[in-house]
Amino acid sequence: MSARYQFSGTTAVEISAGIESGIRTGALSPGAALPPVRALAADLGVSPATVARAYQELRQRGLLVTAGRHGTRVRPRPPVAARRSALRPPPLPGARDLSRGEPDRRLLPPLGPHLAALAADTGPSVSYSDAGVLPELAEVARARLDADGVPAGELTITGGALDGIERLLGAHLRPGDAVAVEDPGWANLLDLVAALGLRPIGVPVDDDGPMVAGVAAALAAGARALVVTSRAQNPTGAAVSAERAEALRALLAGRRDLLLIEDDHAAELARVPLHPLAGATASWAFLRSVSKPFGPDLRLAVLVGDETTVARVAGRTRVGAGWVSTVLQRLVLALWSDPAVDELVRRAAQSYEQRRDGLLTTLAEHGLRAHGRSGINVWLPVPDETSAVTALRDAGWAVAPGALYRIAAAPAVRVTVSSLHADDLASLAAALAHAANPTPPPGFPT
């Protein structure tokens, strides 16, 4: 894969700068294997320590990943601007794309009428001195969280859930610190953890959320933060159950050395109740994004937490980006206040549930147990991801390889059901069944 890239440099700085520019231009594509340290050192006429330093610097910045016997590779989504096409190869022409993890655009509430109403009622423009969290938005956000049992805390607004997580991790941790993350878990979070120079510790997940023994092991291994997806866990669809929440709260009770972050990105789209862990630890934050129910382009999430945690995020935002635009905040408030929008979100949630359950049931008829308690994805364990993705591609379906989401979890593929039609179920399930139970190659069994 790295055949198009000519390695060069005689110092660690030159070698790493060359690799970074190779990633930027697409000559080194995501996932591309890099030569072993000794081989590259011999090629360039430098010491192995020089190449090792270059690789280490790029690893700490999240551009490279070293995966045991698989050697060193470019991360699937390295944190350096590259041509988008290099980051995600387009599905074959005519293929149905179930790889993206996006809500169905047709099920998002239209923004036009509310934007028009805002345009007609702009009032005086907000200036640097009076900008910040809109009190009206904060009030409605608190009431919505309170109704779901999230304890009242301090509140701020971030540019989405991931922005909130980045600000929380940045304010509490330092490069080299360990973060407990779900395994399998959200690819963007794994990329962010790598880009911040943090060490991920994988916590196994089942349908009820992060497993208690896995969290205990991560704590014992020195995790300074724990990120839990409340519902619609990406990629498995897990949702923290009442029993799991109780057990995790007992484990975490009173811990002063751990930042607990909860990501309720599915929010109003989740058809399962919320069982928050918020408040179990001294440092905690609960994030609710508007991306999935109301549209990813809104870039807004509500963050509540203990006083110090929220003050750190709000204070850091103030000296940087400043605030999340009050134009956006007013738009979200308008969406939250419109019963017609509520009804559209309710119908979208119902529709995702039907598609997910439809696929799980059809897969069960093929004898396959897949996962998807909530959300827009189904996670199907397969023996070999590469051959499964290829077989599905040949049958006209693009799905996401589990490797994007896994640390030590077993192989699987992620199927996004948000745009799946009932008519597709039989052929998709048959193709998935074939991919999950491939015909053995001809020849003698070994």
In the complex, which residues of this chain contact ligand PLP (CB under 6 A)?
A: 101, 160-162, 186, 229, 234, 263, 265, 289, 291, 296, 301
**Closer to ligand PLP at the Cβ: 5 or 186?**
186
- Which residue lies nearer to ligand PLP by CB, 291 or 329? 291
Give me the least distance between CB of 234 and ligand PLP, in Å please: 3
Nearer to ligand PLP, 291 or 309 (CB): 291
Closer residue to ligand PLP, CB minimum distance, 296 or 381: 296
CB of 302 to ligand PLP, least distance (A): 10
Q: How many Å separate Cα 206 from the centre of its chain?
A: 17
Residue 157, phi then psi, degrees to nearest 5: -120, 135
Q: In this complex, which beta carbon is closest to ligand PLP, that of residue 186 or of residue 323?
A: 186
Q: How far is the CB of 103 from ligand PLP (least distance, A)?
A: 9
Question: In the complex with ligand PLP, which residue's Cβ is closer, 102 or 342?
Answer: 102
Residue 289: CB minimum distance to ligand PLP, A: 3
| Sheet with strand 400-401: strands edge to edge | 377-381, 412-416, 400-401
Structure-block tokens of residue 428: 């998709």
CB of 101 to ligand PLP, least distance (A): 5
Closest CB to ligand PLP: residue number: 160
In angstroms, give the least distance from the CB of 353 to ligand PLP. 17
State the minimum distance, in angstroms, from the CB of residue 263 to ligand PLP. 5
In 10 A of CB 347, how many CB atoms?
Answer: 11
Cα–Cα distance between 192 and 176 in angstroms, integer?
A: 13
Nearer to ligand PLP, 156 or 229 (CB): 229
